[in-house]
Structure 1
Amino acid sequence: MNRKIKCALALVLAVTCAIVASAEPKYDTPQTKEFVQKIGADLKAGKLIEVSAGKLISEYQSNEVVADSKFKDKFLFVSGTVESVSKNASGTIVLSIRSGRQYGTAMARFDAKVLVISGMEGAGPAVVTMKGYPVMEAVTMVKRGSRVHVICRGDGFFLGIPQLRNCDAISR
């Protein structure tokens, strides 16, 4: 009887370990793993503020002064859905990001080189990859309706739209 219980416990433990091991993401390089872990550490330490595009929009629409104190000139990890990829009046590439069905977008302006991180947006185990691209090439990898995270610096509120500058990473 004890032997059957021990065998059953060993089987449960083995299955549990297999499930946990398979749920852990795999990384294409040690640098990718280090970068993803740094994002997590910076989020925990408050060096990087996690906010949805919807929350950013509603905070700015509610009170620009308070929102600026929370987000302007801070490093942000913004999640949302791509509404459009375009150029602004000065020719800078911008990604319009919305949250759900909410009206309004946040505008993300990108640096010349962008890290594209793939494999973090899906559910379940994945191989997380990271590669740097010129901005023109990087934005071709996201389409309207894609779920993304961007790492940017908050740049205030202009013409009713939260602004993000110096964006240097897209997770898709």
Structure 2
Amino acid sequence: MSQTIQGSVFSIPVRVVGRFYSLPVSGATVLTFLPDSTNQTVETGPEGNATLAQLPPGSYNLRVTVPYGVRSIVKTSVLGPVNISIPVFSIAELLTVIMPPIAVAIAVVLLALKREHARRVAMPTTPPYPIAIPVAFCGACGKPLSPAEFFCTTCGTPRSRSTQPSPTPQLPASSSAPPPPPQ
């Protein structure tokens, strides 16, 4: 004895499009898990279209794999004939979303490097004015001392803080020498 069970099945058109610009994504694979634990796989054509054949009514998880894109899983219910549009991140979407900020960042870095290079080229290689090394003099004999000399090599006196040689006292012929300082 044979029994005939009548049921409805539907062919469901699927369109895979980019998430931002809704451009068709060709070469995407749509995998559908059927209620009897089998699956059905279709691939989208140049216009992003594919058809899932003979689906009985029910809830389905559609796994969409996009070439050079991001895999997506979409849950949908099929209760009758319906068109399914699945938005995904395709390579075109990723490039148009990711590339402009990267290009701007690169342009900003290049501009900063160019300005820094121009600034360094404009800097003089020698100081604009000579750097004067203060000359010190011996406090006793007035001999000029180099910056490294802290004692006079002639008389042994420590360097004077003055940058000018100490004047040699000239006594007038008619006066006597001043008295020595008190001790």
Q: What range is the shorter-chain TM-score in? A: under 0.3
Under a length normalisation based on structure 1, what TM-score does the superposition of the two structures give? 0.19
Higher strand share: 1
More helix by share: 1
The one of the two structures with greater contact order (alpha-carbon pairs below 8 A, sep at least 6) is 1
For normalisation by structure 2, the TM-score amounts to: 0.18
